[in-house]
């Protein structure tokens, strides 16, 4: 009797290549955050000698562009973020709510649009919040209202 022919082998289809996952291990404050903002009053990154500063003071530095969302969750060491008096556009990233050490956040006097993200309510240490004089819309999120602020300014928006 003839020997049975071997069963056809079914090869698995190749798996799609996963997209690279962002990692805090590869986060670079100068290239992933600062350079994305395009701050014209700083020819080079002011954080080059301190990759984990507790304060990022970029107010009135002619910064343009959008606030980068990638990497904000890595910046848990930042307690003070000043982005006011610039030309920032776009929305406030929801990832800003992952900056767990943040106590002071000022994004006033820009051209930011959209709504104030409810994720900012996760910033339980936040005592100062100011996003006045932008183009933000919608009502103030009640979730954020439960935080005990020393200063809260949201006026001058739509």
> What per-residue confidence (pLDDT) applies to 22?
66
pLDDT in tens, 135-145: 999 998 999 98
Q: CB of 149 within 8 A of CB of 124?
A: no
Q: What is the pLDDT of residues 72-120, one digit of tens each?
A: 999 999 999 999 999 999 999 999 999 999 999 999 999 999 999 999 9
Angle at 64 between CA 24 and CA 102, to 5 degrees: 45
| Domain segments of the chain as ranges | 24-153
Q: What are phi and psi of 46, to 5 degrees?
A: -75, -5
Please tell me the CATH code under which domain 24-153 is placed.
3.80.10.10
Percent over 70 (pLDDT), the chain: 86
Average pLDDT of every residue of the chain: 88
The answer to whether the pTM exceeds 0.75 is yes
3-state helix, strand, coil in the chain (%, to 5): 20, 20, 65
């Amino acid at each position: 009797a003839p020997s049975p022919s071997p069963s056809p082998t079914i090869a698995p289809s190749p798996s799609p290549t996963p997209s690279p996952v962002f990692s805090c291990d590869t986060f670079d404050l100068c290239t992933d955050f600062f350079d994305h903002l395009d701050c014209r009053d700083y020819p080079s990154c002011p954080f080059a000698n301190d990759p984990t500063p507790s304060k990022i003071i970029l107010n009135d530095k002619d910064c343009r562009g959008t606030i980068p969302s990638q990497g904000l969750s890595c910046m848990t060491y930042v307690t003070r973020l000043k982005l006011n008096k610039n030309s920032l556009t776009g929305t406030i990233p929801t990832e800003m709510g992952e900056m767990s050490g943040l106590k002071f956040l000022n994004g006033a006097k820009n051209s930011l649009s959209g709504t104030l993200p409810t994720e900012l309510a996760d910033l339980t240490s936040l005592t100062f919040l100011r996003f006045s004089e932008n183009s933000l819309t919608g009502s103030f999120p009640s979730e954020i209202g439960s935080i005990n602020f020393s200063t809260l300014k949201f006026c001058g928006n739509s």
